[in-house]
Amino acid sequence: MTRDELNDALLRFGGKLERWPQPERDAARLLVKGDAVAAKMLSDFVAFEQTIAEAVRSEPFGATEIGTVLARLDTAEAGWRPSTRFWIVSAGISALSFAAGFAAILMVSSQDVAPSLMDLASGQVNLGGLL
């Protein structure tokens, strides 16, 4: 194994030689034993991997944090319930909508409008079996 092959294998398999395939592992160990530059390449790569692993390692998520999240979820779930005012306002809006539609049908029916248009406005139109 050459230094270039060692460099490619480090990038491909990582710095832990025990995880490498057997032939590459044996060749790398032989190279590292006989070549100080190759040994430094391996040790630098292992140090680099450890630095990266420590940089991305997250803090442990313990029972305290889990309890806090669950408590907030329970609070948020019980936080809003429809009040009486909500139901009264909703019923009022529905009644106004019904009254506006009824008034519109009365206004259209008092004018000279085709019966099919009146059926369409009142929702009783026959669309040839499409609905």
Q: pTM score, two decimals?
A: 0.45
Express each pLDDT in 33-42 by its tens digit. Answer: 999 999 999 9
Rounded distance, CA 13 to CA 91, Å? 68
Say whether pLDDT at 90 is over 80. yes
Rounded distance, CA 11 to CA 24, Å? 13
Per-residue pLDDT, averaged over 76-98, amounts to 83
In degrees to the nearest 10, what's the CA dihedral of 37, 39, 41, 46? Answer: -160
Lookup result for tokens 């390449």: 41
